[in-house]
Amino acid sequence: GAVVSQHPSWVICKSGTSVKIECRSLDFQATTMFWYRQFPKQSLMLMATSNEGSKATYEQGVEKDKFLINHASLTLSTLTVTSAHPEDSSFYICSARDPAGGPSLGYTFGSGTRLTVV
Amino acid sequence: AQSVAQPEDQVNVAEGNPLTVKCTYSVSGNPYLFWYVQYPNRGLQFLLKYITGDNLVKGSYGFEAEFNKSQTSFHLKKPSALVSDSALYFCAVRDGGDNKLTFGGGTRVLVKP
């Protein structure tokens, strides 16, 4: 079945630095990828929709200059948290949609990245 | 705008007893409904979906869900819960004309031996 690989699984960074998270579709080409943020004991909040070769569409309230999303190829999207601060600490999950569909209509999720900013 | 509500933050059930996790939704068009399960520090695993057809949908690991259009509900059920079913469960909806999923707040299930 469709597999989405997300790296790193966890990262600790110093306040003020930038962190890049990668999301790869391993066995399909994903024209659309999604980035979510999950706070402790809370639901997934959609941050942005990433379309290959075009600018990401950000949800209301998400700072696009802080959360840079790049979808340079059909199998790779990256989320860069710029000038990270402790309040950016969270669990980030990517999802990729296989246009071929499948049991889940093609929506496949990465295993998530735990970001801790100190 | 589409939305999903999971009214219970946590559901406790004894092993072997039936498990129900509630979900109601709101969409402007025809709903595509999903259930996912999440284990600690992991991504989401797909359990089942409803698009059209039979209102009772069967999914992975013995789970099933019933679509009720009049009550705009899509409750997840399992006839006999296992300790290993203890996890965080999310209901999600997609408006037929849209591409993104909107998630409910999640329900933590605790199955006690």
Residue B36 and residue B45 in contact, taking contact as beta carbons nearer than 8 Å: yes
What share of chain A in percent tops pLDDT 90? 69
In sequence order, the 6+-apart residues with CB closer than 8 A to the CB of A21 are A6, A7, A8, A11, A78, A79, A80, A81, A92, A94, A113, A115
* Rounded Cα gap, residues B8 and B19, in angstroms: 13
Regarding predicted confidence, which is higher, A102 or B79? B79
Subunit contact B100:A4, Cβ cutoff 8 A:
no
Structure tokens at B14: 């004894």
- Which residues from chain B sit within 8 angstroms of residue A111, using beta carbons? 42-43
Per CB-CB distance under 8 Å, the chain B contacts of A43 are: 90, 103-106
DSSP-based helix, strand, coil % in chain B, nearest 5: 5, 55, 40
pLDDT at A113: 95
Q: Could you give the percent of chain B with pLDDT greater than 90?
A: 77
Confidence bin at A100 (pLDDT 50/70/90) = confident
The pLDDT score that the predictor gives to residue B97 is 67
| Most B-contacting residue of A43, A90, A97, A113 (CB-CB within 10 A), to test interface | A43
Chains A & B: contacts with CB separation below 8 Å: 55
Measured between CA atoms, the residue of chain B closest to residue A114 is B41
Q: How far is A97 from chain B (nearest CA, A)?
A: 9
Per-residue pLDDT, averaged over B41-46, amounts to 86
More confident residue, B20 or B94: B20
Question: Hey, is B47 helix, strand or coil?
Answer: strand
Q: What is the pLDDT of residue B104?
A: 93
Of A34, A104, A109, the CB nearest to B49: A104
pLDDT computed for residue B79 by the predictor: 97
Q: What is the pLDDT of residues B56-99, one digit of tens each?
A: 999 999 999 999 999 999 999 999 999 999 999 999 998 766 78
Q: Choose the mutation target among B101, B109, B110 for the interface with A, i.e. most A CBs under 10 Å.
A: B101
Q: How far apart are CA B8 and CA B108, in angstroms?
A: 8
What is the structure's pLDDT at A115?
96
Q: Higher pLDDT residue, B58 or A53? A: B58
pLDDT at B15 over 90: yes
